[in-house]
Structure 1
Amino acid sequence: MQLTARLAILLLTLWGVAAGAQGQGGPLAESVPTTPILVIEFERVFSESAFGRRVNNEIEQAGRAIATENRRIEAELTEEERGLTDLRSTLAPDEFRKLADAFDEKVQRLRDEQDTKARALGARTDEARRRFLTVAQPVLEGLLREAGATLILERRTVLVAADSIDISDRAIARIDAQIGDGADATLDPTPDPMPEPLEMQPDPQE
């Protein structure tokens, strides 16, 4: 299941905490109507936050490096194949077949290596998003308490929602202030497991 599908619905079920926060003032409570539900555009929060911009830039650079390497390998193999073709008329069939088979094996090996790099880059992207959600959860919990709400939904899964209950902009500003670009947060090779209060469900559109 793709990460975008698992992030389709973001649920923060903090019933006890939110109930205790009812009636408490705060910047968000003044601007968001009292409501049990808030919505957020997670993809926009990620991509527009300092954390997301850094990750996307790193992924883009790595992707360009792989593409450049692919072009170099393709040019080298094309040249090698041309040289092998030129040798065909000067070699015995069995000898040429051995060279051709070795070349085919080399092509397949390089293709597999580059495919592995591409898959690893995709996995790195997914891991960065999971890590972002983990480190951003305390911020989202804070916004939840300030609004006196009990639930945050991914806006894409909501048919209609008032703009006043959308906390995407507030989340971006708060996450940037508290986490920054999150460089240190993504260096942990064994990130913390997803917190129990956080539940992921498939995107109905998938």
Structure 2
Amino acid sequence: MILSAVAGLGLATASVAQQGSTFSLGETVGAPIGDGLVLRSVDEERLFRDSEFGQRVQGEIDAASRALEDENARLLAELTAREEELTEARATLSPEEFRAQAEAFDQRAEMVRQDQAQKLARFSQFEESERRRFFSQTGAILQEVLQDEGAQILIAARAVIIGLPEMDMTDAAIDAIDAALGDGGAAPFPLEAP
């Protein structure tokens, strides 16, 4: 892998391919020319997802999702039963009494809907908070792995157009992050609102 700086522009271009391959411009690429910088890449999504930290986060979200589904089913059953009670009682209630009870029911149903929607939104907020925390703690670890790999530049795998498999250091980075951070411990932003 060779990275050459474009003079005066501060831009960089990567030239990587199998020996003897050519780009559409006809430039043959292969072995590095001169003293080149070594690049490595990481798959940021896999880095988080496959780390102990990311697996803990996903496990907490999965457990909370199942609990929310159970709670939603229970609340739906309660609201359905109350709605049936109101329907049956309508014949025995005055229009004013029925209207008051129906409005109270509607308010309760809306409050339940909003509460459950907030709980669901909190899952995304929790995951985003934990992702930020994860990536804020991995910079020094990634630098160390980059040095161990004998490389100078780390790029996101999704930015690589052509690259050799050995360019990817995601597995080594996950191992180093797991050793340093483990599952990340308790989240400062709790999954469930206090």
TM-score tier, shorter chain, comes to 0.7 to 0.9
Equivalent residue runs for 1:29-178 within 5 Å: 35-178=37-180
Q: Secondary structure at the match of 1:71?
A: helix
Question: Would the alpha carbon gap of residues 188 and 99 (structure 1) be closer, same or farther in structure 2, given more than 3 Å must change?
Answer: closer
Aligned-partner Cα distance in 2 for 1:119–1:77: 22
Q: Give the TM-score normalised by the residue count of structure 2.
A: 0.74
Equivalent pair of 1:88/1:96 in contact (CA under 8 Å): yes
* CA drift at 1:188: 7.3
Spell out, residue by residue over 1:74-127, the C-alpha distance to the aligned partner (whole angstroms, 9 max, x if none): 010000000000011111112211111111111000100111111111100111
Q: Give the TM-score normalised by the residue count of structure 1.
A: 0.70
Aligned-partner Cα distance in 2 for 1:94–1:120: 39
Higher relative CO (Cα under 8 Å, sequence separation at least 6) belongs to 1
Aligned-partner Cα distance in 2 for 1:131–1:161: 29
* CA drift at 1:178: 1.5
* CA drift at 1:144: 2.2
Extract unaligned runs of 5+ from structure 2.
1-35
* RMSD of Structure 2 on Structure 1 (CA): 1.8
Aligned-partner Cα distance in 1 for 2:107–2:152: 58
Identity of aligned residues (%): 37
Equivalent pair of 2:41/2:168 in contact (CA under 8 Å): yes
Equivalent pair of 1:35/1:148 in contact (CA under 8 Å): no
Extract unaligned runs of 5+ from structure 1.
1-33, 190-206
The correspondence for 2:183, drawn from 181, 202, 206, is 181
Question: Would the alpha carbon gap of residues 188 and 70 (structure 1) be closer, same or farther in structure 2, given more than 3 Å must change?
Answer: closer
Spell out, residue by residue over 1:33-53, the C-alpha distance to the aligned partner (whole angstroms, 9 max, x if none): x74422111111211111111
Q: Which has the higher helix share?
A: 1
Aligned-partner Cα distance in 1 for 2:122–2:106: 24
Moved more, 140-149 or 93-102: 140-149
Aligned-partner Cα distance in 2 for 1:35–1:79: 69
Q: Secondary structure at the match of 1:153?
A: strand
Q: Secondary structure at the match of 1:161?
A: coil
Amino acid of the residue matched to residue 144 of structure 1?
A: L
Q: Secondary structure at the match of 2:41?
A: strand
Larger radius of gyration: 2
What is the count of residue pairs matched by the alignment? 155
Equivalent pair of 1:36/1:148 in contact (CA under 8 Å): yes
* CA drift at 1:151: 2.8
* CA drift at 1:157: 3.0
The answer for the alignment partner of 1:15 in structure 2 is none
Aligned-partner Cα distance in 2 for 1:153–1:88: 67
